[in-house]
Structure 1
Amino acid sequence: MAEHPAYPVGLRLTGRRVVVLGAGQVAQRRLPALIAAGADIVLVSPEATPSVEAMADAGEITWVRRRYEDGDLAEAWYALIATSDPGANSAASAEAERHRVWCVRSDDADLATAWTPATGHSEGVTVAVLTTDARGRDPRHTAAVRDAVVAGLRDGTLVAPHHRTRTAGVALVGGGPGDPDLITVRGRRLLAEADVVIADRLGPRDLLAELPPHVEVIDAAKIPYGRYMAQEAINNALIEHARQGKSVVRLKGGDPFVFGRGMEEVQALAEAGIPCTVVPGISSSISVPGAAGIPVTHRGVAHEFTVVSGHVAPDDERSLVDWPSLAKLTGTLVILMGVDKIGKIAETLVAHGKSPKTPVALVQEGTTAAQRRVDATLATVAETVRAEDVKPPAVIVIGDVVTVGP
């Protein structure tokens, strides 16, 4: 048997009897996949790990609480032998051979009639990797190959084109704070499968260079006080390309629903009858301070943090922020889009009771190669911003957590 490679096959076990002997760590790892396959599982073991016992209590498996006995594999389609008793394992393996039951043995793969591949899953695809030569079995290498393939499928670096008809639509993807490694796995995969990408300036721009040549990239950058693409034009572009049967990704910075206009885009697509998938992203309100060594909460320092938009000044009639109430809070205050208004914001907070000595940190271009941190207090932050020439995008953190560090 060792002279020939294993023949790979997918077993359809729904409703079919599968016998598992032993209820230790091996069974604990293997049972979830057998349950997911819909198998009729009979577990034979005098005792079990807490996790396996919970599966039995939930009715996912039938647990026979005794040791293996001859005849246990009768009518089985598949068997997993994983007891700590070598004699029982050998006897069960012999029974499986007599009844022509495919049998996996955890103690001696060479004596088994089947091997369990290293498996992984990505969007409806199961990746199963087997060593081809029994004499050179290397489970770690097999698992590493599996991990590499699954990771490539998930993050889009390994792209397998779909040959079936795809449903046109839009994916609203939060790209995270700027570092291309901080986009979600699902977001990166959808980006790799896109026909059209409509990207914000604050999205992870480096990912655009990885797109295939046929992908149309539309710049929807909203540069402060400069050239911009009106929101209505963005909505129209999303609708137009989706109606052409294309897969469209709207790539936004941070999370689409944290001070972005993601919901406006979702509403416009819904009105047009265009299906839309929302993929959350890592918000800069927590990731950028973290990248700069600032925890937005810390035991004994801050029990809450508040995220505020600073795009309009406190004395602007358009402001919806209750600044006097914020000044009374003892936790952390995180301000986005507030670099040019920080002077007025600091004055308002101090006027309503916040100490002028309250620490402030400004983190510019957070998580990117250009990241820099500038520290000040509420009393000095306006002048510090001017002196240090702090520019957006920058996340402003106000509170005692600014001084917490290793």
Structure 2
Amino acid sequence: MAHSDPQELSVAPRGPLTGSLQVPGDKSISHRALMFSALAVGESRITGLLEGEDVLATAAALRAMGADIERTGAGAWRVNGVGVGGLLQPATALEMGNSGTSTRLLMGLVASHPITATFTGDASLSARPMGRVIEPLSQMGAAFTASPGGRLPLMLRGISPAVPITYTLPVASAQVKSAVLLAGLNTPGITRVVEPVATRDHSERMLRGFGAELTIEDDPAGRIIAIHGEAELRPQTITVPGDPSSAGFWLVAASIVPGSDLVVRNVGLNVTRTGLIAALRLMGADITELDRREVGGEPVADLHVRHAPLTAIEVPPELAPSMIDEYPVLFVAAAFAAGRTVARGAHELRVKESDRIAAMAAALTACGVACEEYEDGLAITGTGGEAIPGGARVASLLDHRIAMSMTVAGLHATRPVVIDDIAPVATSYPAFYKTLDDVSEEA
């Protein structure tokens, strides 16, 4: 699933952002909804599914391994699963495009099935290390032949029965945790993951919803998540809430563009995903929750955000796991705050779709923003609400979040910000630029 030809875009101010919008379905939940439905016996129905390239890569891989998956309307999908243990040998390599989530979680699924699968991806994904998933899955008995550095292309030879393990996460990673739990679904006995720092818990919530026997207990070592293997998952009807990571771009854009008054509807507010909102509120952002409710077992609300002066903060490092994907757009918010914002504790950003610390430091510096780079984050001296100079051509590095974050920065810049390639935005938010036109006074 290669990206299309590069699409350059020049971004200039277009007035306040007003009205309301609905963000696409949560990417993390969309991946898991397809995977767990594919492992249930019977027909599951999903609404609100994110139809970006990453999630479509997951659907294609599951089809290749025997699941019957059909799109029945906008965001509406029907899945007839093969049952836990029922995945079939794929006839060709599984093409993951740019999706690290698809790759790591599907590696977990395949690891405890007696099949062999080859995973390939685009240039960005092929540069990302997979060793943190290879290690625990190898302990369970799976065998790997990877490219140098534990990277794609990669061949995985699964094993059944696999060996249940107790695995302590060396770094906070919901993807690694989920991969081990998914491998544990088809493994006799109890597979445990010890999580010293809590990460997003969508897998745990949804696995329980599908009928898996899963327990969570607090321990001095952290959260211990235990899954009983050889599970029988029951088909479900799933409504996917809006993606808080996608909402983050609008929360920052409306906060920094004078006169903005925006309602972002149906945003998932799982406590493991709300770090950006907490950080923005600490900076003085005007964000209020409307109509808080529950959708598909997840807390949801409409978020009303208005332009407000932002003040620099030291971002609490304990927020990092709950906002790891939102750091690039938080860096943009910091560029418009009064004072010097320090955001650290985010080593994980070095191994995302790009090195997001280096990429954002380079892009913001090119636009006239003073940045100091650390191994685990950035310090950014903001404008106090004034427009940044802009006037630069910046590199998205095949990273959708860099492209969208720098688009937000360009909305309050003295001179246009040119982004070399916005095509990667289709991986997570295909309608982003149309939505921007819809809420801008000057489309």
Give TM-score scaled by structure 1 length.
Answer: 0.25
Which structure carries more relative contact order (alpha carbon 8 Å, separation 6+)? 2
Of structures 1 and 2, the larger Rg is shown by 1
Give TM-score scaled by structure 2 length.
Answer: 0.24
More strand per residue? 2
